[in-house]
A and B are shown apart, each in its own frame.
Chain A
Amino acid sequence: MYVYDQYDQTIVDQRVVQFRDQTERFLAGKLSEAEFLPLRLQNGLYVQRLAPMLRIAVPYGLLNSTQVRKLAEITRVFDKGYAHVSTRQNIQLNWPRLEDVPDILAELASVQMHAIQTSGNCIRNTTTDQYAGVATDELEDPRPYCEIIRQWSTLHPEFAFLPRKFKIAVCGTSQDRAAIRAHDIGVELVANESGNIGCRILAGGGLGRTPVIGSVVCEWLDRKHLLTYLEAILRVYNQNGRRDNKYKARIKILVKAMGIEAFRDAVEQEWAPIKDGPTTLTDEEIARAKSFFTEPPYAALDHAASQSALAAKTSDNPIFGNWVKRNTVEHRVDGYRIVNISLKATGFAPGDITDTQLELAADLADDFSFGEIRTTHQQNLVLADVQMDQLYPLWLRLQSAGLATPNLGYLTDMICCPGGDYCSLANAKSIPVAEAIQSRFDDLDYLYDLGPLELNISGCMNACGHHHIGHIGILGVDKKGQEFYQVCLGGSQSKDASIGKILGPSFGQEDMPDVIEKLLDTYVALREEDEIFLDTYRRVGIAPFKERVYAKAD
């Protein structure tokens, strides 16, 4: 993974000093609430319902074990002993004290971490595929490009006061696991006709109040132009994005208002004078970025032998076998598997992890996966490089810590924002809804029979829980001070991205498990062979679901 040199360290250290001074001035009354607001947001600090919330950047979801141990220590010393993995692959603390935040940032800087631009109307943490570099379907590793974008966007002087937040995602696979179509800018690494790898650039995707699938601005861009092209898009947005209404301020609204053709023309016009300028990437810089994401020293293993040994082990122990089947994924390298650690155990808020679980994860990373660990936008963890013959000892240790829930990609592996329990923006609670659904559907055989199913829950229109792109989406709404839940169906975050359609009138919190059950019953009754929920929905439409859910009781 990327390692700081003296330049990176200087920038992060100086940022800590700057924020310490800003916090002191705020506490001394020399900086007003309104002035401090964007400054603290650009350091990841929200003021929330119960306490401040600090969002720590995990660039494109990559952590080493030293960093994970530091996070565990921070949650213990400065918080209540747990942290939350967000849908942008970041780590959130729910209970820090404002006065402690500069010290927390200094602790983070000591392990090459920060909270820069994890919030605010600026370029946010760039996200990517959690299986980057190890996926079997990858054309090109997206992480070097993420790191190049991270450096370019960090403390960018021109784009710190944009009309609204700005999110970039990069993917390098045919199957898009980074939801790039739901981002302000999506970068897809693609080969052109002559086989050269470049970037397809999408813009104007986004969730929130007006969900939109991104449009292609440039079909194939030589990668050396990546940064100048991004700069041109940002410049069009910074000057022309709406600032009169925060609900219409995202780039998706601008792209829609201008039309993709006119938007593209405006970008090309801004691009012309800076194209081929100093920000043009050099071969050396691309090579330097790539040099941090080379292969770890994999053992030379016989794949067939590894597989048959694993098969023997799994038939001895069906519980272990089930976990292997559900939570591990094929690896690019012979004799290895990718391991997902589900943070969706019933009874725990989705994405939450305790200090001791963090420390265990760090140990497991050291013992089984070259010291690295990843966060995912589905709010789980990944150990990317585990030898097949090590899966069993790894599983035993995960199980003893309650981290072996075999539900990856199934109903209870739901995406869920912190909601009204923590977030001051939320209209409604989301965690209790998630927990009620998890409790109702805790029969694993039933979950497996239902097949892959994405259930996403957001506590408000800001859509941090990505409800629009869940196969089933749940949105918390406020009606005259009471919390209700709207359901949408048919969203997808994959290459065939789609926005879910609203089912009908909203429901009370206590009704939600019943509503979900009726939706699932409808699906089970109508599905053909191995059809997953999304495909059945796409075939039969929303009507049968609607009829079943809103049918009057006899």
Chain B
Amino acid sequence: MPRLIKQGQIVEDSWLAADPDATGPGAQQILSLDQWLAIDEKSGRAVMLEPGQAPAPLFEHLAQIPMIAVNFPVFTDGRGFSYARELRERGFQGELRACGSFIRDQLTYLQRCGFDAFQMADESQLNEALASLDDFSEYYQAAIDQPQPLFRRRA
């Protein structure tokens, strides 16, 4: 079973990879945005956003969605960072998963933007990636992990 980092632990994945071409995907399968938009019973279904698929259509269903994956086909395309923040700022409480080609050096930023699960293309990097979350102990800006900016916290 594929492994990933979830809430600071390396765990096995309970979701099945998305298949945008599948007709009638199973309950444990991550849906593409089109598949998700097409189904009537959205409760309990996971959905994956690609770059260019802004999260606005999900906003009114956030309480029903257990997991949203954001794909990074190339690690230099940073749209997903904003998607994550927008989802969390609108109250999404479920799992927010980064997947695709992001690199371990981006993990801190991804986590700060609200991702709590990281599925890396190369699973052998999971341990090092987990360690990189400790690169910084302090930040200037408010973000999802620390809603108060440093200027409101300076001693």
Contacts and interface: CB of A to CB of B under 8 A. Distances in A.
Contacts of A151: 140, 150-151
B85 interface: yes
A357 B53 CA distance: 54
Contacts of A154: 140
A282 interface: yes
A152 B103 CA distance: 24
B109 A157 contact: yes
Q: How large is the interface on B (under 10, 10 to 19, 20 to 34, 35 or more residues)?
A: 35 or more
A10 B103 contact: no
Contacts of B90: 273
Contacts of A282: 151-152
Contacts of A152: 140-141, 149
Contacts of B143: 157-158
Contacts of B137: 10, 14
Helix, strand, loop or mixed for chain B's interface? loop
A210 interface: no
B154 A5 contact: yes
Given A7-B154, A151-B151, A239 B138 contact: no
A158 B81 contact: yes
Contacts of A18: 105, 135-136
Nearest to A122: B78
A158 B85 CA distance: 8
Nearest to B147: A278
Interface string A277-304: 1110110010010000000000000000
A22 interface: yes
B28 interface: no
B142 interface: yes
A436 to B, nearest CB: 40
Contacts of A278: 142, 147-149, 152
A287 B76 CA distance: 37
B82 interface: yes
Nearest to B54: A239
Contact of B76 (A17, A161, A274, A277): A161
Interface string A95-136: 000000000000000000000000001000000000000000
A10 B76 contact: no
Contacts of A155: 109, 136, 139-141
Interface in A415-440: none
B112 interface: yes
A288 B79 contact: no
Contacts of A274: 89
Contact of B78 (A39, A227, A238, A285): A238
Interface string B78-121: 11011101100110000000000001011011101100000000
B109 A160 contact: yes
Contact of A162 (B78, B106, B148, B154): B78
Interface of A: 5, 7, 10-11, 14-15, 17-18, 22, 35, 38-39, 121, 151-152, 154-162, 227, 235, 238-239, 243, 273-274, 277-279, 281-282, 285, 288
Q: Which 9 A-B pairs have the closest CB atoms?
A: A161-B78, A157-B112, A157-B109, A285-B151, A151-B140, A158-B81, A278-B142, A238-B82, A18-B135
Given A17-B135, A151-B150, A155-B141, 6 more contacts: A11-B140, A35-B105, A152-B140, A155-B139, A158-B78, A278-B149
